[in-house]
Amino acid sequence: MYSAIMKIFLLTFIALQGFSQVQTVRIIMPEDAGIVMKNAGRILAAQITGRTDVKIVKDASAQFTIELAKEQTKDPESYHIADKTKTHVKISAAEDAAVLYGVGRFLRTSRYDKNGFTPGTWRGTSAPKGKVRGMYFATHFGNFYEAAPIEEVQKYVEDMALWGINHLVIHFATWQYTSFYDAEAQKALTRSRQIMGIAKACGMKVGLLQVPNQGFKFTKNEWLNTPVPDDLRRRGHLGVNLDPSNEQAKLLLKENWAYLLDQFRDMGIDLAVFWPYDEGGCGCDQCWPWGARGYPVLCKELAAITQEKSPGVNIILSTWMYDTPPAGEWEGLSKFLNQDKIWLNYIMADAHEDFPRYPLDKGVPGGLPLLNFPEISMWGQWPWGGYGANPLTNRFQRLWNQTNNKVSGGFPYSEGIYEDMNKVICAQLYWEGSRQTSDIVKEYIAYEYSPDVVNELSRVIEILEANHNRKQIKATAIEAFDLVQRAEQKLSAQTLKSWRWRILYLRALIDREIYEHNGKLEGEVIKAAFNELTEIYYAQKAFNMSVKPPVIK
């Protein structure tokens, strides 16, 4: 499968060399097009005009026509791209969102140059293997999703849809606020509704990822939990987790959950993801081991409230950090779900390092479909994203191989836009699990930068991953920056100004500076690079040393 995909990839760009560039494009859609179909047309036009000087025209004088249409297919999420004439291509699907996925494929196999737009030549049908191709936007810490202008977040959600993402979940961080009536809390809820609305307009299903026993600031001390064991220092504790074995505390948790769901009643919640740790957990005699006792019991009760308010909602139970240290959480959850699993749709599993062995070796608790939660943001660097792009091509290939095609999709954990390449790797593995991550990266480079720099930037990304550890940057950092400068000469003016190019360029520059300064963060060059990244991320007020680049005084 890999060799076949690579062959198609190479032949597509060989074919492009002989395909005529155009300066005018017409986009046509069904007369009764709904909001998602209309957005597909608008996004298609914006991507072409944003990368070239091509004009979008409405009449038959256009040099090339792109038609978007609805047609029945075996798989409602599949898309079909076919020629009607030499200068007229049709992208069709049964669902409007799938038309958008087809638009993404067409755009990625096209070419964008100073002199015009070369339409892509890939033709055929493509259907996803993974049904839950999700993304989790962690809306906290003053990161991009909290701080960027909503128009920038909208563009980014649309970019994710072009790569086939069909689910989006966000988080309401209760620990940041005193109550729902806190002015900042209301602001966050408004922001969350805006992001969900954008995702819905791209055909995505939306939901919340929440810790079921997390409270607000200043919760009564007698309602707070008993801390859980945390040998690896990853389970987190901000002092606002409640003990659900306390009836008053449980009542408050239920009331808070019902109120939170009501904030999204108009648009409708499609899924709810319950999260066990960081924040979360209770180590009291009634709740521990949390993942086998207090947690699933509480989640089942909150799931009933969710179904009442949003009938048909999917419930996902995360098992993140189960049995670290061993406490029988996996075994206990399996026994619990063997008694009653009707309230649950998916089990989510993952970790900072290797994929958990229990669901792979002994089966998923309850025999439910399995989702993953790739750590694309925080792994191995501090501050997260503070150095620019953090491609981890080989790491995700290794982790994906461990799951052996046993996952039905997942929700990569995102703290911002610096891990954009990692998002795309995950999205495409969900679409076609037999692909190689190195192949996906080549497709990303050709689309976001240029087919002319695939070789140079593939090597750059390989070096950046090898130098991911900030304390072990090698002399190859010089080679990487030289290659980036060489690639720069082949890129269009629009690409050179794009944030995707700048975060890759700045990462290579920063690595070179760190190597040449013997690991020290010093000098005007690296200071300017960190300042530019801060501007790109809108991280001026972000948490220091988390999502904000280092500050050089």
The pLDDT score that the predictor gives to residue 49 is 96
Kindly tell me if the per-residue pLDDT of 50 is higher than 80: yes
The answer to whether residue 503 is domain-embedded is yes
The answer to whether residue 200 is domain-embedded is no
The pLDDT score that the predictor gives to residue 281 is 96
Structure tokens at 399: 């982790």
The pLDDT score that the predictor gives to residue 236 is 82
Query: Percent of the chain having pLDDT more than 70?
Result: 96
Instruction: Please check whether residues 262 and 345 belong to one and the same domain.
Output: yes
- β strands within 142-221, DSSP E: 167-170, 205-210
Instruction: Please check whether residues 368 and 232 belong to one and the same domain.
Output: yes
Q: Reduce the DSSP state of residue 141 to 3 states and report it.
A: coil
Burial class (CB in 10 A: 0-12, 13-18, 19+), 475: exposed
Which distant-in-sequence residues (6+ apart) come within 8 Å of 185 by Cβ?
172, 176, 177, 178, 179
User: Using an 8 Å Cβ cutoff, are 111 and 17 in contact?
Assistant: no
Structure tokens at 337: 């779900």
Residue-wise pLDDT tens digits, 402-445 = 997 899 999 999 999 999 999 999 999 999 999 999 999 999 99
The answer to whether residue 420 is domain-embedded is no
Residue 89, sorted as left (phi over 0), alpha (psi -120 to 50) or beta, turns out to be beta
- pTM for the structure as a whole: 0.95
The answer to whether residue 549 is domain-embedded is no
Kindly tell me if the per-residue pLDDT of 170 is higher than 90: yes
How far is 28 from 72, CA to CA, in rounded Å? Answer: 19
The pLDDT score that the predictor gives to residue 16 is 46
Q: Confidence band (pLDDT; 50, 70, 90) for 288? A: very high
- Rounded to 5°, angle at Cα 233 from 227 and 236: 50
Q: Please say which residue of 315, 348, 372 terminates a domain.
A: 372
Kindly tell me if the per-residue pLDDT of 275 is higher than 70: yes
Burial class (CB in 10 A: 0-12, 13-18, 19+), 134: buried
CATH number of the domain encompassing residue 72? 3.30.379.10
Higher-confidence residue of 88 and 113: namely: 88
What single string gives the DSSP state of each residue in 311-368?
Answer: TT-EEEEE-TTTTSS--SHHHHHHHHHHH--TT--EEEE--SSSPPSHHHHT--GGG-
Instruction: Please check whether residues 247 and 354 belong to one and the same domain.
Output: yes
Instruction: Please check whether residues 106 and 241 belong to one and the same domain.
Output: no
The pLDDT score that the predictor gives to residue 19 is 57
Structural domain total, the chain: 3
Instruction: Please check whether residues 462 and 358 belong to one and the same domain.
Output: no
Range of the domain at 455: 445-537
Quick one: the chain helix, strand, coil %, rounded to 5? 45, 15, 40
The pLDDT score that the predictor gives to residue 2 is 43
Which distant-in-sequence residues (6+ apart) come within 8 Å of 320 by Cβ?
275, 276, 277, 278, 348, 349, 350, 351, 373
The answer to whether residue 193 is domain-embedded is no
Instruction: Please check whether residues 361 and 455 belong to one and the same domain.
Output: no
Instruction: Please check whether residues 360 and 456 belong to one and the same domain.
Output: no
Instruction: Please check whether residues 30 and 116 belong to one and the same domain.
Output: yes
The answer to whether residue 356 is domain-embedded is yes
Residue-wise pLDDT tens digits, 311-342 = 999 999 999 999 999 999 999 999 999 999 99
How far is 118 from 115, CA to CA, in rounded Å? Answer: 10
Q: Confidence band (pLDDT; 50, 70, 90) for 545? A: low
51-55, 151-155, 233-237, 292-296: least confident range: 233-237
Sort strands 370-372 and 407-410 into parallel, antiparallel or unpaired.
Answer: parallel
Instruction: Please check whether residues 218 and 364 belong to one and the same domain.
Output: yes
How far is 214 from 430, CA to CA, in rounded Å? Answer: 31
Q: Please say which residue of 81, 107, 126 terminates a domain.
A: 126
Instruction: Please check whether residues 222 and 350 belong to one and the same domain.
Output: yes
Kindly tell me if the per-residue pLDDT of 5 is higher than 70: no
Kindly tell me if the per-residue pLDDT of 1 is higher than 80: no
The pLDDT score that the predictor gives to residue 291 is 98
| Helix locations, 202-293, DSSP H | 247-262
Which residue is it, tokens 């690991």?
519
Sort strands 116-118 and 111-113 into parallel, antiparallel or unpaired.
Answer: antiparallel
Structure tokens at 222: 């007698």
Instruction: Please check whether residues 358 and 234 belong to one and the same domain.
Output: yes
Q: Give the chain's count of helices (H) and strands (E).
A: 18, 17
The pLDDT score that the predictor gives to residue 15 is 45
The pLDDT score that the predictor gives to residue 11 is 46
Q: Reduce the DSSP state of residue 544 to 3 states and report it.
A: strand
Q: Confidence band (pLDDT; 50, 70, 90) for 140? A: confident
Q: Please say which residue of 323, 357, 372 terminates a domain.
A: 372
Instruction: Please check whether residues 365 and 451 belong to one and the same domain.
Output: no
- The DSSP call for residue 214 is B
Q: What mean pLDDT comes out for the span 66-90?
A: 95
The pLDDT score that the predictor gives to residue 232 is 86
The answer to whether residue 425 is domain-embedded is no
Residue-wise pLDDT tens digits, 204-232 = 999 999 999 999 998 888 888 999 999 88
What torsion do the CA atoms of 530, 531, 535, 539 make, to the nearest 10 degrees? 70
Query: Percent of the chain having pLDDT more than 90?
Result: 87
Residue-wise pLDDT tens digits, 8-29 = 455 444 444 445 899 999 999 9
Q: What mean pLDDT comes out for the span 501-510?
A: 98
Structure tokens at 254: 């239920």
The answer to whether residue 470 is domain-embedded is yes
Q: What is the mean pLDDT of the chain?
A: 94
Residue-wise pLDDT tens digits, 110-130 = 999 877 899 999 999 999 999
How far is 318 from 322, CA to CA, in rounded Å? Answer: 9
